[in-house]
Amino acid sequence: ISNISYSKELEDQLLSTDIYLSYDIVNQEIMYEKNIDMRISPASLTKLMTALILFENYALAEELLVTLPSDYIYEGKVAYLKNGDKLSTEQLLEFLLVYSANDSAYVAALQVSETIEDFVLLMNKRARQLGMNSTNFSNPEGLDDNEHYTTLNDLLTLSIYIIKNTTLIDITSKNSFMFEIDNNLQKYSSTNLLLKEG
């Protein structure tokens, strides 16, 4: 906020949510925050952890074969990836981080682990390694569940790690990407509305 003296009262007037966090990555300090240790649903931000684990296990150019659970039901925002489709790790990460496709999270999970349950255990293990001690994952895509929760403070920890230690931020910055399904080249646009504001 430029040319305005900052106060807690002003912060409350400008922000309409009861839970928020703004972090200055350059100076490594929290600028504004409220209830950052309150338990919340991570929703599609869950895919950050799914993407991180995929990224840590496969090279970006590696070709992957789509495998979905036999009982998988397409739910929420999906790309309708099908068993047998081929794509690179980078393309799968685009589906995760740009288009936020739920089915891509299951594809990623089964690239790394034999079962979804094993992958969820890996997600929680990685969360503890990063110091996300108030987080518990129960699925790889972020659909609501009583046992699927985090805090803004933990999401900050995950975000800082990704920004400092991976190239995933480059993928999340894309406005869109192209991918061919059933011999049709399709455009997939980002779900991040903030990209339109630069």
Q: Which of 47, 138, 159, 190 is catalytic?
A: 47
Beta strands 29-34 and 20-24 are: antiparallel
100 belongs to the catalytic site: yes
**Cα-flanking dihedrals φ and ψ of residue 3, to 5°?**
60, 20
Helix intervals (H) in 20-66: 46-57
Q: Which of 7, 86, 100, 174 is catalytic?
A: 100
Name residue 97's amino acid.
Answer: L
Find out whether 144 and 11 touch, Cβ atoms under 8 Å: no
Q: What is the dihedral of CA 161, 164, 122, 82, to 10 degrees?
A: 120
SS3 content of the chain, % helix, strand, coil (to 5): 40, 15, 40
Q: What is the dihedral of CA 96, 100, 105, 107, to 10 degrees?
A: -70
Find out whether 168 and 52 touch, Cβ atoms under 8 Å: yes
Q: Which of 34, 44, 77, 86 is catalytic?
A: 44
Catalytic amino acids?
Answer: 44, 47, 100
